[in-house]
Structure 1
Amino acid sequence: MSWDFFVPVCVGDLVKTGGINQYVVQDVVSPKQLPLQLNKFKAALRSQGPLCILEYFDTGYSVLQHFNSVELAVKEDTLELLVKVLHPLV
């Protein structure tokens, strides 16, 4: 399946229903679940490479959604993962 690339006006638009073939966030992960999801994201990056972002975008979005309530280590892990994902893509 292919997706249309859409740059939202505000970050909240990512959770609204999109058009046909337009990606939207499916599941906002709770702050308690984020460390486990980030570990799964890391494992997927090792095994699948940077395209794993297609499966774990919701996890990164969830960190932004809960940014004021998550621990610094979660924020740092997320930033490190996103850099590792984006580096080969750019």
Structure 2
Amino acid sequence: MRTTRAKVLPWHIFLGLYTYGLAVITAETGLLEKLTFLQSRRNGSKHCPESMIVNGLGLGLVLLCGIVILTAVSPKYHVVQTKLAYSSDTK
């Protein structure tokens, strides 16, 4: 059971981070679509306050995503796994 968990753990981490990255990309695409709609209006300027807020949200989301992924793959925060030795004789 433990060996199976140990073998599957890297794939579990990869798939979790991959899913998280896809969610961030989806959010960024939604923000880009919002900016496109803002700029497609004939009377809207490219530097309106609403577009500045959307740009700030996009940059904040990218920075947060980078911090989360860096923390997840950083060896500083990994738990050291030790082997458990079981004795065959119980006294």
Q: Same fold (TM over 0.5)?
A: no
Q: Looking at secondary structure, tell me which structure has more helix per residue.
A: 2
Instruction: Report the TM-score when normalising by structure 1.
Output: 0.30
- Structure possessing the higher radius of gyration over alpha carbons: 2
Instruction: Report the TM-score when normalising by structure 2.
Output: 0.30
